[in-house]
Amino acid sequence: MGSPCEVLTDGGDKQLADRVSSLVASEAWRIEDKFSRYLDGNVIHRINTAHGEPVAVDAETGNLLDFAATLFDISGGRFDITSGVLRAVWRFDGGDNIPAQADIDNILDRVGWQRVTWAGSQLTLQSGMEVDLGGIGKEYAVDRCTDLARSAANVPAMINFGGDLAVTSPPVTRDAWRVGIEGPNVDAAERLVDLRQGALATSGDARRFLIRDGVRYSHILDPRSGWPVPDAPASITVAADTCTQAGMMSTLAMLRGADAEDFLAAQELLYWCRR
CB nearer to another protein: pick between 99 and 170:
170
216 lies in the site for another protein, by CB under 8 A? no
CB contact set of 36 (below 8 Å; sequence gap of 6+): 42, 44
Residues 16-75 that bind another protein (CB under 8 A): 63-64, 66-67, 70-71, 74
Work out how close the CB of 63 gets to another protein at its nearest, in angstroms, rounded to a whole number: 5
Residues 48, 37 contacting (CB under 8 angstroms): yes
172 lies in the site for another protein, by CB under 8 A? yes
121 lies in the site for another protein, by CB under 8 A? no
The torsion angle over the Cα atoms of residues 59, 119, 70 and 115, rounded to 10 degrees, is: 130
Work out how close the CB of 163 gets to another protein at its nearest, in angstroms, rounded to a whole number: 15
Nearest to 137 by CA among 240, 3, 270, 239: 3
CB contact set of 32 (below 8 Å; sequence gap of 6+): 1, 137, 141
Using the CB atoms, write b or e for 52-89: b if 16+ within 10 Å: eebbebeeebbebbebbeebbeebebbbbbbbbbbeeb
212 lies in the site for another protein, by CB under 8 A? no
194 lies in the site for another protein, by CB under 8 A? yes
Question: E strand or H helix at 140, and its extent?
Answer: helix 134-152
Distance between CA atoms of 193 and 239, rounded to whole angstroms? 9
The one-letter code for the residue type at 175 is D
Question: E strand or H helix at 71, and its extent?
Answer: helix 59-74
Indicate which single residue of 48, 61, 245, 250 sits in contact with another protein (rule: CB under 8 A): 245
Per CB under 8 A, which region of 82-90, 97-105, 219-227, 257-265 contacts another protein? Answer: 257-265
CB nearer to another protein: pick between 116 and 199:
199
Question: E strand or H helix at 121, and its extent?
Answer: none
173 lies in the site for another protein, by CB under 8 A? yes
Residues 204, 242 contacting (CB under 8 angstroms): no
CB nearer to another protein: pick between 67 and 227:
67
CB nearer to another protein: pick between 10 and 32:
10
Indicate which single residue of 46, 193, 208, 227 sits in contact with another protein (rule: CB under 8 A): 193
Which positions from 72 to 111 touch another protein by CB under 8 A, shown as an x/- string? --x-------------------------------------
195 lies in the site for another protein, by CB under 8 A? yes
In order of 46, 111, 124, 192, the CA distances from 40 in angstroms are 8, 22, 19, 41
Query: 118 in helix, strand or coil?
Result: strand
152 lies in the site for another protein, by CB under 8 A? no
Binding site for another protein (CB under 8 A): 10-11, 63-64, 66-67, 70-71, 74, 140, 143-144, 147, 154, 156, 169-176, 178, 180, 189-200, 239-242, 244-245, 248-249, 252, 261-275
